[in-house]
Structure 1
Amino acid sequence: MMRRFWQIVLVFGVLLTACTPKASQQQKVRIAVLPVIDALPIYVAQQEGYFKEQGVEVEIVPVLSAPERDQLMQSGQVDSILTEVVVNMIYNKETPQIKTVRFLRTTTVTTPMFRILASKDSGINTVADLAGVPIAISEGTVIEYMTDRVLEKAGMAPTDIAKVAVPKISDRMAFLDSGQVQAAVMPDPLASLSIKNGARVIIDDTSYPEVSHSVLAFRIETLNQQGEAVRKVLAGVEQAVTAINGDKTRWNGLLAELKLVPEPLLKDYVLPDYPLASVPSEEQFADAMQWAREKGLIQKDLQYADCVDASFLP
């Protein structure tokens, strides 16, 4: 009789375990990131245990170029990418696939994200000198968008803006430093290293800070199925941003290890202020969409709510 009782208790316990949500289990989220300092909050959240503290497991997947990143996203190998709104629109041009959920970095009036540089022997010294000169960029990204908008704002006619596609940041820098291209758009801090090597700043995005940014975007499928995990990821990123902004000298070892800041710059390089929880505005979205339509990257107007979602922010 007692044996039968314990058999019933055991079966009941198994059934109860099978039917109870496994709240203690961590959900896993995979994020593809480019080798840029915009990714630092994600790495800091991983290193400092903020993701673990929030109860989410994050796998960081490093990529060398935007095409490599997009291939991983399109094949479903990652849940999230470090990207920008223009790329978000390209993903969603037929049907919504991804949504921007947070800024990772933004330009300010004092801190540029991107600089248009001329090679040291190019003879290019002003914006006017860039007319007709192919500028090395990453096509169909915020870099191309920023290039057009900043040069137009500086008075250059759109027909005078020439560009050449060099997707990999490392290749762009090598071509600029060697003079294989006369001009290139480089993100900081690699832009600072090119300047140290002799390149000249022609113009940067501080003249039009609204156009430059990076964001964290998630697959809509992940947002629908793992919404709580996404909230935990963003809570961890917020902790990291607060920690970075509070002590910018603390992360030199991590920056060196990840090669996010070139070694010759580490001693004197000052990290930018990272934005607190926020997303692109409807006005920023509308301008980027207009540019994307002009370039033929999308064929119809897209809805802000289909591409940007602030509801997961802490």
Structure 2
Amino acid sequence: MLRRILIGIAIGLGLVACQPSAGARPLSVRFGALPILDVLPVYVAQTEGYFAQEGLEVEVIPAASAAERDQLMQAGRIDAMVNDTVSTLFYNKEKAQIYVVRIARQAYPEAPQYFILANPNAGIQSPQDLKGVEIAISQGTVIEYMTDRILERAGLKPGDYRTVHIPRIPDRLQALMEGRVKAATLPDPFATLAIQQGAQVVADDREVRSISLSVLSFRAEVVERNPEAARRFLQAWDRAVAAIRANPEKYAGLLAEKQLVPQPLVGTYRLPPYPDRALPTREQFSDVIAWARAKGLLQADIPYERLVREVR
């Protein structure tokens, strides 16, 4: 009898211990979301209930542009975002403000991320035809980085071509198709839309795909003070990536609902692969640091440990 009583008390205490205290706040993450394919795993994790199953509340805060997303992060109004290796450098010039915790997307042989395209009537067929030509880019961003590296691999030097700054992707696409610029660098799926409208593919990032990636980043304060929230977010993210890879057609409706692809592509666009769980390497960041220093955008190297953090 005494043994049964003791067992009952132990079970009761265990159940109480498993219950959150009355005043405890649930773990939460505020995610800043651009209307880009890279954030699809967040919407899938919400739709499938993965965040809730991990005991995490996630608030998605839309941002219309990278500048708006960065303002939200700098103001501490979001905890996580998808960005790129170039912007990570600018955040962490002086100290760690954000940590990269995952590769979000990357280029594949069958699915490039960045394309250098020519106007249908420009008569440009190859990278060599870009000598002396003005290419529309977004200066000081991953778009400029990829443009330089793609053309470098094709045998061109920065002095062989010129660039014009058109920061907004829809404006750059429109300028290209209207012939106001002969060439432009565009990310997919806007590149897919331009190609459907007749743009000529001059080059893409398949030859430099080892450095062509976007990243998932957390505010450094969250990683350092609340790593459990980041860990649970990543577990749900990884589950969402697996779900997308298993059945990409299932999430075509989300692409339209969240406006992750241009309207003319809704219903026909084929999702690219999403990568396995991984962090950017030292070599990948070394390359983008070397580029930024050569451009005068950085004055000194940034330690890898200030840029990347593995969350366990």
TM-score by length of 1: 0.88
Q: Does structure 1 residue 169 correspond to structure 2 residue 169?
A: yes
Give the corresponding residue for 1:182: 182
Give the corresponding residue for 1:117: 117
Equivalent residues of 1:149, 1:211 under 8 A apart: no
Give the corresponding residue for 1:279: 279
Give the corresponding residue for 1:84: 84
Equivalent residues of 2:227, 2:311 under 8 A apart: no
Query: 1:57-76, aligned counterparts within 5 Å?
Result: 57-76=57-76
Equivalent residues of 2:134, 2:164 under 8 A apart: yes
Deviations 1:268-298 (A, max 9, x none): 3221110121111111111111111111221
1:22 to partner: Cα distance:
6.5
Deviations 1:119-146 (A, max 9, x none): 1222222211212322222222222111
Task: Between 138-147 and 191-200, report the one with greater CA deviation.
Answer: 138-147
Equivalent residues of 2:34, 2:66 under 8 A apart: yes
Give the corresponding residue for 1:229: 229
Give the corresponding residue for 1:98: 98
Deviations 1:248-275 (A, max 9, x none): 1111111111221234333432211101
Aligned amino acid, residue 120 of structure 2: K
Identity over the aligned pairs, expressed in percent? 47
Aligned amino acid, residue 275 of structure 2: P
Give the superposed CA RMSD.
2.0
Give the corresponding residue for 1:191: 191
Task: Between 68-77 and 233-242, report the one with greater CA deviation.
Answer: 68-77
Question: Quick one: distance in 2 between partners of 1:192 and 1:258?
Answer: 18
Aligned amino acid, residue 171 of structure 1: D
Give the corresponding residue for 2:151: 151
Question: Quick one: distance in 1 between partners of 2:210 and 2:186?
Answer: 18
Question: Quick one: distance in 2 between partners of 1:281 and 1:23?
Answer: 41
Question: Quick one: distance in 2 between partners of 1:63 and 1:112?
Answer: 24
Equivalent residues of 1:65, 1:169 under 8 A apart: no
Give the corresponding residue for 1:13: none
1:43 to 1:92, Cα distance in 2 relative to 1, 3 A = same
Deviations 1:169-216 (A, max 9, x none): 222222222222221111111111111111111000011101211111
Question: Quick one: distance in 2 between partners of 1:159 and 1:289?
Answer: 20
Equivalent residues of 1:38, 1:105 under 8 A apart: yes
Give the corresponding residue for 2:12: none
Question: Quick one: distance in 2 between partners of 1:23 and 1:277?
Answer: 35
1:170 to 1:222, Cα distance in 2 relative to 1, 3 A = same
Give the corresponding residue for 2:137: 137
Equivalent residues of 2:31, 2:60 under 8 A apart: yes
Question: Quick one: distance in 2 between partners of 1:311 and 1:119?
Answer: 44
Q: Find the residue that maps to 1:273 and give its secondary structure.
A: coil
Moved over 3 A (4+): 20-25
Question: Quick one: distance in 2 between partners of 1:22 and 1:247?
Answer: 40
1:64 to partner: Cα distance:
2.5
Q: Find the residue that maps to 2:250 and give its secondary structure.
A: coil
Give the corresponding residue for 1:127: 127
1:127 to 1:257, Cα distance in 2 relative to 1, 3 A = same
Equivalent residues of 1:67, 1:167 under 8 A apart: no
Q: Find the residue that maps to 2:121 and give its secondary structure.
A: coil
Question: Quick one: distance in 2 between partners of 1:128 and 1:148?
Answer: 14
Question: Quick one: distance in 2 between partners of 1:32 and 1:131?
Answer: 39
1:306 to partner: Cα distance:
0.9
1:220 to partner: Cα distance:
0.7
Equivalent residues of 2:95, 2:306 under 8 A apart: no
1:246 to 1:159, Cα distance in 2 relative to 1, 3 A = same
Task: Between 22-31 and 169-178, report the one with greater CA deviation.
Answer: 22-31
Task: For structure 1, list consecutive stretches of 5 or more residues without a partner in the other structure.
Answer: 1-16
Question: Quick one: distance in 2 between partners of 1:226 and 1:169?
Answer: 35
Give the corresponding residue for 1:6: none
Query: 1:212-227, aligned counterparts within 5 Å?
Result: 212-227=212-227
Q: Find the residue that maps to 2:249 and give its secondary structure.
A: coil
Aligned amino acid, residue 155 of structure 1: G
Task: Between 140-149 and 242-251, report the one with greater CA deviation.
Answer: 140-149
